[in-house]
Amino acid sequence: MTPFSMDDLMFRPGLMSGERILITGGGTGLGKVMAEACLMLGATVYICGRRGGVVEASARELMDAHGGRCVGLACDIRVPEAIEAMLDQIWADGGALTGLVNNAAGNFISRTEDLSPRAFDAIANIVFRGTFFVTQGCGKRWIAEGQKASVVSILTTWIWNGGPFTVPSAMSKAAVATMSQSLAVEWGSHGIRFNNIAPGPFPTEGMSARLNPGGEGQERSNAYGDMSANPMGRVGDMRELANLAVYLLHPLSAYVNGQTIAIDGAAWQATGGNFSRLRAWGDAEWKAARDSIQRTNEKDRAQRTV
């Protein structure tokens, strides 16, 4: 991905100076572009993931391109003790965070009847459980210190109309939406606010390999749908997502609380924005998809350091 320049951002240089932002899963894909925008605008940025080499290389790449301070941390958010250790390390490294982006996730397409308990847990433990424990860990610290903060969670439009063939993800994202709405009210008086972004298709390696297996790089027509059916006729542009995230993280959006903003070109209103068209697949297509997804999972697992 080409590095952003200031022309890609709608904000003035230094806008995020003094902000301290943690982006889970920030070493790749959407998390990495949100990290890049925050860094370019002067924030100190922390990114975490299970593949220590990936987060460290991304942090280095972003600092080489833009300067500033981006710290890569190896952490598995499925493990509450590991989250606590990471947050202790961040707080010891310059004080409280001012923003959190719940972006880390796992997902793959599968017929629901084919999911084993371990397959369900593989997704729910990251998205449903892990997101809660990262949020709670930050919230406890913010409340104790009287620190205001903004939490942005990356969801999907399936929270509104369901996610056929991605049921553990859709269920978990819907639960995170409920967490955000609940805490927007419960912690609003502490100045801690919660908003969600529900992206449509933004091609990333992690997403394409698991949601469009075998068709990586086919941005216009894939398992997710035919992009000509999207009212905007295209997939998302990373700059559009990054600018929205910066807006929600910045203190000047402080009266925006408890909201979910879709960024999908109105795809879900037009087409459902989910994998309903995979109803046409038979056993052969599902076997090929599963084999391809599992090859990606194995490759990624081999790079994990935690």
Which member of 44, 98, 107, 274 binds ligand NAP (CB under 6 A)?
Answer: 107
Answer yes or no: are the C-beta atoms of 28 and 205 closer than 8 Å. Answer: yes
> Where would I find the beta strands (DSSP E) of 215-300?
221-222, 225-226, 259-263
Task: Report how far residue 236's alpha carbon sits from residue 265's, in angstroms, rounded to the nearest whole number.
Answer: 8
Which member of 104, 176, 278, 293 binds ligand NAP (CB under 6 A)?
Answer: 104
20 binds ligand NAP (CB under 6 A): no
Which member of 140, 182, 301, 305 binds ligand HXC (CB under 6 A)?
Answer: 301
Closer by beta carbon to ligand NAP, 15 or else 263: 263
Residue identified by tokens 């978990």 is 172
Helix-strand-coil split of the chain, %, nearest 5: 50, 15, 35
Picked from ligand HXC, ligand NAP, none, the partner binding residue 103 (CB below 5 to 8 A depending on kind) is ligand NAP
Partners of 208 in the β-ladder: none
Which window, 23-31, 135-143, 253-261, 280-288, contacts ligand NAP (CB under 6 A)? 23-31
300 binds ligand HXC (CB under 6 A): yes
**CA distances (Å), origin 61, targets 6, 32, 75, 203, 242:** 17, 10, 19, 20, 17
Picked from ligand HXC, ligand NAP, none, the partner binding residue 54 (CB below 5 to 8 A depending on kind) is ligand NAP
Q: Regarding beta strands 225-226 and 221-222, do their DSSP bridges make them parallel or antiparallel, or are they unpaired? A: antiparallel
The minimum distance between CB 149 and ligand NAP, in angstroms, equals: 19
Which member of 39, 62, 73, 105 binds ligand NAP (CB under 6 A)?
Answer: 105
Answer yes or no: are the C-beta atoms of 40 and 4 closer than 8 Å. Answer: yes
Q: Which residues contact ligand NAP (rule: CB under 6 A)?
A: 24-25, 27-31, 48-51, 54, 75-78, 103-107, 126, 130, 154, 156, 199, 201-202, 204, 206-207, 300
